[in-house]
């Protein structure tokens, strides 16, 4: 930008187009000393749509002003807000948000390396943070917690306790992200004043709060992800953008609640510092505006016609959306989008129908019900010298009986109380008269004689925890794998132990939420 900005110029950039700033004096004082640290959080719930360009444009302003900016993907908040993001979709939605928001920022020319990205669950489940949640809950009144969330947390007939925790977590985020200021829409105001009131009671500093106005939706009232028809999705095709803009409320001469003008004011103007109205020569040809106020006045005086305004916005908007569409055109991104936001019309069939995997016949590892188990007891099979009969807790009310041919390979005391990995949806099989209700997975060395070691789940795992292959977290396991289809056998061919003793399928790690599955000593081999 040529010259170094003065504190005054920085202040102007940080606060332009905002509706309100709480803590102006503090902001001015910090700017005289150093750069300001700001964070913006977004709960990973509904699909982000073009209204997200409004906060993104302010983030661009903050960066131009030299601020250090953190973007928080508030996954835990999405869950706490009436489970807008169900736990099993949370990880996928967070990935979707990360990709989409980075694509939006790149599209408006924001250098990503100047930003910090963090997920709520990266630190909100830590011991210190959790303790602070409890400390906060011992000073906050129910009344204040409820009032704070009123504009943000979905209001329902029987409010859940989670909605009362929401504002407290958001307040603590300011301390744990080590920021001077939090930025958000003015709908967050009650949470912001709640944070200002309560953080000092835990001995933490009161932060600055920067608030954007609630910008009327480009094509409707408040742009929220819940009014599907009107909203322009970031991945909408050009023809959809045109169709939705056609319906946008934009009355000649009316500048009140005009979503089209608001979008120019809050997004297109700050990004380009000018806006061009494209129109036919006979209406006076193109006109470039360098001040938003002049455009608004011309529209009020009906010098600029709604049709031309919409056309010009459509052209500018498609320029912004093009790189995002491009990025999400890959098969990997399409898959992420459809699994994070499953089409409700293709909702899961009845339990008797095929499973939730896209194609019931597709051989993917998520069809296998792999779980952590704990060996409760080990006895020799009464009628077979090479077989053990184990009772194994797999997180169900009753332990399962498992028969495995490990007598010659693993001493009994090594199995007792050990954590193991089991395939839990094979058809139960009689082995020398005793039914085996699961299969214990072991690593086998390549050479002869074959060395065998049971696979080890990560330390601290619990019986019943799901084991999955990296990248296949979302699919549901089959109720029971049909022996004739040989699904497990086909998959088993690609299970192996890596050089680093990690269990893998086609080179992707087998893991639980705590980490990778490993074996004690083998440095390569198969899994069976």
Look at residue 217 and give its three-state secondary structure: coil
Flag whether pLDDT at 424 surpasses 70.
yes
- Name the band, by pLDDT with cuts 50, 70 and 90, for residue 527: very high
Q: Is the dihedral of CA 333, 337, 342, 346 positive or negative?
A: negative
Q: How many CA atoms lie within 13 A of 210 on its CB side?
A: 28
> Under a CB-based contact definition with an 8 Å cutoff, are residues 408 and 493 in contact?
no
Mean pLDDT of 395-401: 91
Predicted local distance difference test score (pLDDT) of residue 219? 76
- 81 pLDDT band, cuts 50/70/90, is confident
Q: What is the pLDDT of residues 103-114, one digit of tens each?
A: 999 999 988 888
pLDDT in tens, 331-359: 999 999 999 988 777 655 444 444 444 46
Averaged pLDDT, 467-486: 88
- Place 31 in a pLDDT band, splitting at 50, 70 and 90: very high
Residue-level pLDDT at 222: 44
pLDDT over threshold 50, residue 459: yes
Mean pLDDT of the 463-477 span: 89
Residue 28 has pLDDT above 60, yes or no: yes
pLDDT of residue 220: 62
Using CA atoms, how far apart are residues 325 and 319, in angstroms rounded to an integer?
Answer: 10
Closest CA to 452 of 520, 381, 359: 520
* Pick from 177-181, 458-462, 472-476: least confident: 472-476
Question: Among 31-40, 228-237, 382-391, where is mean pLDDT lowest?
Answer: 228-237
Average the pLDDT over 41-70 and give the result: 93
What's the pLDDT tens digit per position in 116-145? 999 999 999 999 999 999 999 999 999 999
Tell me, yes or no, if the pTM score tops 0.75: no
Please, which pLDDT band fits residue 407 given cuts at 50, 70 and 90? very high
Say yes or no to pLDDT of 430 above 80. Answer: yes
* Per-residue model confidence (pLDDT) at position 256: 85
pLDDT in tens, 209-236: 999 998 888 876 544 454 556 788 899 9
Is residue 244 over pLDDT 70? yes
What pLDDT was estimated at residue 229? 62
The full set of domains in the chain, from first to last, is 7-212 (3.40.50.620), 238-340 (1.10.240.10), 370-527 (2.40.50.140)
Query: Is the CB of residue 387 less than 8 Å from the CB of residue 495?
Result: no
Distance CA(321)–CA(234), nearest Å, equals 6
* pLDDT tops 70 at residue 170: yes
Question: What residues does 516 pair with on adjacent strands?
Answer: 511
Tens of pLDDT along 149-165?
988 888 888 888 988 99
Give the torsion through C-alpha atoms of 7, 13, 16, 21, to 10 deg.
-50
Higher pLDDT, 182 or 251: 182
**pLDDT surpassing 50 at residue 197:** yes
Taking each helix axis as running N to C, give the angle between helix 53-64 and helix 7-15, from 0 to 180 degrees, rounded to the nearest 10.
180
Does residue 485 register a pLDDT over 50?
yes
| Percent share of the chain, pLDDT over 70 | 94
Q: Tell me the pLDDT of the chain averaged across its residues.
A: 90
pLDDT digits (tens, 9 = 90+) for 283-332: 888 999 999 999 999 999 999 999 999 999 999 999 999 999 999 999 99
At 82, the pLDDT band (50, 70, 90 cuts) reads: low
| Mean pLDDT for the stretch of residues 431-452 | 90
DSSP calls for 81-117: TTTSS-HHHHHHHHHHHHHHHHHHHHHTT--GGGEEE
Determine the pLDDT at residue 351. Answer: 41
- Across the range 430-448, mean pLDDT stands at 91
DSSP 341: S
């Amino acid at each position: 930008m040529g010259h170094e900005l003065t504190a005054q110029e920085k202040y102007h950039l940080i606060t332009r187009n905002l509706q309100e700033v709480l803590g102006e004096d503090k902001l001015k004082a910090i700017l005289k000393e150093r750069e300001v640290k700001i964070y913006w959080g977004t709960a990973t719930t509904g699909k982000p749509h073009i209204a997200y360009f409004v906060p993104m444009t302010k983030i661009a302003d903050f960066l131009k002003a030299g601020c250090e900016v953190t973007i928080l993907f508030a996954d835990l908040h999405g869950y706490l807000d009436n489970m807008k993001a169900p736990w099993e979709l949370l990880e996928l939605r967070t990935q979707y948000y990360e990709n989409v928001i980075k694509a939006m920022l790149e599209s408006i020319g924001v250098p990503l390396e100047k930003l910090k990205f963090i997920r709520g669950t990266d630190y909100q489940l830590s011991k210190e943070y959790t303790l602070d949640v409890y400390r906060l809950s011992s000073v906050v009144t129910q009344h204040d917690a409820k009032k704070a969330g009123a504009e943000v947390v979905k209001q329902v007939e029987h409010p859940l306790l989670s909605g009362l925790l929401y504002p407290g977590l958001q307040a603590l985020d300011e301390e744990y992200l080590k920021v001077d200021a939090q930025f958000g829409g003015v709908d967050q105001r009650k949470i912001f004043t709640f944070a200002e009131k309560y953080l000092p009671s835990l001995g933490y500093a009161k932060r600055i709060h920067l608030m954007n106005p609630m910008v009327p939706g480009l094509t409707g009232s408040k742009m929220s992800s819940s009014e599907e028809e009107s909203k322009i999705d970031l991945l909408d095709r050009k023809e959809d953008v045109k169709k939705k803009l056609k319906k946008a409320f934009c009355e000649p001469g009316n500048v009140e609640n005009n979503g089209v003008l608001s979008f120019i004011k809050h997004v297109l103007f700050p990004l380009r510092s000018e806006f061009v109205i494209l129109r036919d020569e006979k209406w006076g040809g193109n006109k470039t505006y360098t001040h938003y106020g002049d455009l608004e006045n011309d529209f009020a005086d009906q010098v600029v016609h709604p049709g031309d305004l919409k056309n010009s916005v459509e052209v500018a908007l498609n320029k912004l959306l093009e790189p995002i569409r491009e990025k999400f055109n890959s098969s990997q991104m399409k898959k992420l989008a459809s699994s994070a936001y499953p089409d409700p019309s293709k909702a899961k069939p009845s339990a008797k129908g095929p499973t939730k995997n896209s194609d019931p016949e597709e051989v993917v590892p998520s069809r296998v019900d792999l779980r952590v188990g704990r060996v409760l007891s080990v006895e020799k099979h009464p009628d077979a010298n090479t077989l053990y009969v184990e009772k194994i807790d797999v997180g169900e009310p009753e332990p399962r009986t498992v028969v495995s041919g490990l007598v010659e390979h693993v001493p009994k005391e090594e199995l007792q109380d050990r954590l193991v990995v089991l395939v839990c949806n094979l058809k139960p099989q009689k082995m020398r008269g005793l039914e085996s209700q699961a299969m214990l997975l072991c690593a086998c060395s390549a050479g002869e004689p074959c060395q065998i070691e049971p696979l080890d789940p990560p330390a601290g795992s619990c019986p019943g925890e799901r084991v999955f292959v990296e990248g296949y977290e979302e699919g549901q396991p089959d109720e029971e794998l049909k022996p004739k289809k040989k699904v497990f056998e086909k998959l088993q061919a690609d299970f192996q132990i890596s050089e680093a003793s990690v269990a893998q399928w086609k080179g992707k790690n087998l893991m639980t939420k705590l980490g990778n599955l490993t074996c004690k000593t083998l440095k390569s081999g198969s899994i069976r």
